[in-house]
Copies of this chain bind each other. A is one copy, B any other.
Amino acid sequence: MKEIYFNAQHSPIGAFSSFTLGYPNAKGGLGLELGKPADQNVYIGLQSSDGEHYDALPFYQYTEDDRKRFDVERIGEDRNNAYLIEPFDKEQIKRDFKLSTDTWYAGDLEFKIYSPARSIPDPENCTEGDLKKVILPAVFAEITIDNTNGKRSRRAFFGYKGNMPATNMRKIDFANDKYFGVGEGRNTALVSAGRYVRTAIGFSMEEILSCKLEENWTTGLGYCGAIIIDAPPGEKITIPFAICFYRGGIVTTGMEMSYMYGRFFKDIEAVAEFSIDNFKELTDACIEDNNLVENSDLTDNRKFMLAQAVRSYYGSTELLDYDGKPFWIVNEGEYLMMNTLDLTVDMVFYELRMNPWTVRNVLDNFSQRYSYIDKVSYPNDNKMYQGGISFTHDMGVMNSFSRHGHSAYEKYGISGCFSHMTHEQLVNWCCCAFVYASHTNDKLWIDKNLNLLNECFQSIINRDDADPENRDGIMGLDSSRTMGGAEITTYDSLDVSLGQARGNIYLASKCWAVYVMFENIFREKGIKEQAELASSQARKCANTIIKNINKEGFIPAVIGEDIESAIIPAVEGLIFPYFTKNNEALDENGPYGDYIKALKNHVNAIMRQGICMFEDGGWKISSTSNNSWPSKIYLCQFVMCNILEIDLKDTLQSSDDVHVSWLVKGENAYWCFSDQILSGKAIGSKYYPRGVTNILWLHVL
Contacts and interface: CB of A to CB of B under 8 A. Distances in A.
B71 A417 contact: yes
Contacts of A215: 411-413, 483
Copies of this chain in its oligomeric complex: 2
Interface stretch (A86-94, A110-118, A245-253, A567-575): A245-253
Contacts of A483: 213, 215
**Interface residue SS majority, chain A:** loop
Interface string A570-614: 000000000000000000000000000000000000000000000
Contacts of A69: 334-335, 684
Contact of A166 (B67, B70, B212, B398): B398
A73 B493 contact: yes
A218 B396 CA distance: 12
B684 A216 contact: no
A170 B253 contact: yes
Given A213-B483, A215-B483, A411-B219, A168 B72 contact: no
A631 interface: no
A316 to B, nearest CB: 13
Contacts of A336: 168
Contacts of A32: 166
Contacts of A164: 165
B495 A168 contact: no
Given A69-B334, A164-B165, A683-B72, A186 B219 contact: no
Contacts of A399: 166-168, 185
A408 B249 contact: no
A32 B167 CA distance: 11
Interface in A384-439: 394, 396-400, 402-403, 406-409, 411-413, 416-418
A279 to B, nearest CB: 24
A138 B655 CA distance: 58
B627 A165 contact: no
Given A215-B483, A253-B170, A336-B168, A408 B33 contact: no
Interface of A: 32-34, 67, 69-74, 164-168, 170, 185-186, 212-213, 215-216, 218-221, 248-250, 253-254, 334-337, 394, 396-400, 402-403, 406-409, 411-413, 416-418, 483, 492-495, 625, 627, 676, 678, 683-684
6 contacts: A69-B335, A71-B417, A74-B416, A166-B398, A215-B413, A221-B397
